[in-house]
Amino acid sequence: MRLKSIFTNSFGILFSRVTGLGRDVLMASALGASVWSDMFFVAFKLPNLFRRIFAEGAFTQAFMPSFIASKHKGVFATAVFLRFLLFLMAFSLLIMFFPEPITKLLAWGWGEELIANTAPLTAINFWYLDLIFIVTFLATLLQYKEHFATTAMSTALLNISMIGALYIYMKEDPETVAYALSFAVLTGGTLQVIAHLVTINRFKLHKLLLGGWKYRKHKDVQDEKKHFQSLFFPGILGNSTPQISAFIDTLLATFLMTGSVSYLFYANRVFQLPLAIIAIATATVLFPSVSKALKNGQEDAAYQNLNQAFWLLAFLLGAAMVGGILLAEPIVWLLFERGKFTQVQTLETVNVLRMYMVGLLPFGLAKLFSLFLYASHRHLKAAKIAVYSLIASVSSSLILMHPLGPSGLALAGSIGGWVLFIFTVKEVGTEKFMEIINSKKSFYFIVMMIVFSVIIYFLNIWIVEFIR
């Protein structure tokens, strides 16, 4: 297992997520959990949804196996890039001229005036989708060369851009702040593209792309493009269950009390931190090596990586899950309760965060096991499992949203995470899973969780008494 690469990638993601939390702290202070914060989060939701789908593996896990197998890598890569970019640019132009229908789709529970006020923000933010696709495509080529640092660190450029906008416009009216943030999103995306282009040039990968452009009409890649397409769309569905579920939850939250969209956003930001720096960082690093191992018939090496990574993730995610549930109030208080973010809003966000944390361990481990489905080209199986998870999540959301409010939506997402984990393990091989957990490490894991829970429980009591 490539521990050095995992920790390098984790550090980069941690840096990006820390700057992201700094951005959210300033945003909470400037906008609180208000109508304007809800409006910005809705406008940013769709491009952010696709950012997570693309950047956190869906595109890469469809593209990488096909790219590795391609006999004309430059031609294949260029053909895929041009096709996607032209489609996204046309889609973005359509949204720019007709933003209200897509905004209404994002916020069914809102009235016409609120939709009309949010629509211009949607039109601005949507262009980030084009930029993040370019970033993701270039990042996948860098992953093939087993370089992860640039991509891990570059998200910080988006956060720094938004922090700059908040710093400059903090004391302005909420409408000005929302528009400043929207333009800062595009500035950050542009900086991410530039950072990746510089690294692509350093690894001499621009020659591959230029050669692909020169021979882009090469007929020998037609079958490869068809194979990629057959993997891509199931891969998108299979890898994006948490994002689609969160997207639907945002839509459902517009039917609840004002601030519900913001509570979900702030809590999900905290939830995403351990998921990204532990699970996503590990999966990103292992995927190229697992794909190459399975392609070369080295299954033992691939499953040895799974065994080692499983326990690394289980211990780290387990500790983060327990800590997140028991220390939710101090965490939210420390990060967000200042300026226009009140104590009442803190307690609402705490309830949502605890429900999200219930799903941290299954979502993280499902990310690990799903590597073997994508590396062995079983994208359609992964998509079917994702559908089961999505059905469970959405059904639970509809049942729980009224009695529990936004907390019910978060709990429903965690239920979907457990369904995703159970079915993914079953498809990869229950016997492989049993081989992993039938060891002394299982006993150590249980003991550690019990001891850690007791310590954190009493620590939380002391901290809450101190801050309140």
Dump the DSSP string for 102-153: HHHHH-TTS-HHHHHHHHHHHHHHTTHHHHHHHHHHHHHHHHHTT--HHHHH
Match 């350093």 to its residue by tokens.
202
Residue 246 contacts residue 393 (beta carbons within 8 Å) = no
Rounded Cα gap, residues 159 and 15, in angstroms = 10
Residues 19 and 377: their CA atoms lie apart, in Å, by 36
Alpha-helix runs per DSSP H in 170-204: 174-202
Q: Tell which phi-psi region holds residue 438, choosing left (phi > 0), alpha (psi between -120 and 50) or beta.
A: beta
- Cβ-contact 69, 295 below 8 angstroms: yes
Regions of the chain where pLDDT drops below 70? 1-6, 33, 51-58, 211-225, 227, 229-231, 235, 238-240, 467-468
Residue 224 has a pLDDT of 62
pLDDT for the residue 444: 86
Give the C-alpha separation, 76 to 81, whole Å.
9
pLDDT for 293: 74
pLDDT tens across 119-135, in order? 999 999 999 989 988 99
SS3 state of residue 359: coil
Are the beta carbons of 134 and 89 closer than 8 angstroms?
no
Between CA 194 and CA 188 the distance in angstroms is: 10
Whole-angstrom Cα distance, residue 408 to residue 410?
A: 5
Q: Side chain identity at 173, as an amino acid letter?
A: D
> Which residues lie below 8 Å from residue 272, measured CB to CB, with a gap of 6+?
17
Residue 384 is encoded by which pair of tokens? 């079917």
CA 382 to chain centre: 17
pTM value is 0.73
Q: Which amino acid is at 240?
A: S
For 208-271, give the DSSP string: HHHHHHHTTT-GGGHHHHHHHHHHHHHHHHHH-HHHHHHHHHHHHHTTSSTTHHHHHHHHHHHH
* Residue with token string 């700059």: 164
pLDDT tens, 173-228?
888 999 999 999 999 999 999 999 999 998 888 777 776 565 555 555 666 667 67
Tell me what pLDDT residue 462 has: 82
Which of these, 246, 240, 234, 235, lies nearest to 394 by C-alpha position? 246
- The first and second tokens of residue 47, run together, are 């491009």
Helices 260-274/328-336 angle, 10° precision: 110
Of 356, 368, 354, 351, the residue nearest 421 (C-alpha): 368
CA distance 359 to 245: 13
Token duo for residue 236:
């998108």
Q: Identify the pLDDT of residue 408.
A: 94
The two tokens of residue 383 are 């998509």
Q: What is the Cα Rg of the chain in Å?
A: 22
Cα 420 versus chain centre, distance: 16
CA distances to 18, 112, 190, 403 from 194, rounded to whole Å, are 22, 39, 6, 47
Q: Hey, what long-range contacts does 302-307 have (CB within 8 A, 24 or more apart)?
A: 302/372, 302/375, 303/432, 304/1, 305/1, 306/368, 306/369, 306/371, 306/372, 306/432, 306/436, 307/435, 307/436
What does 287-326 look like in DSSP terms, one character per residue?
HHHHHHHHHTT-HHHHHHHHHHHHHHHHHHHHHHHHHHHH
d(CA 410, CA 397): 8
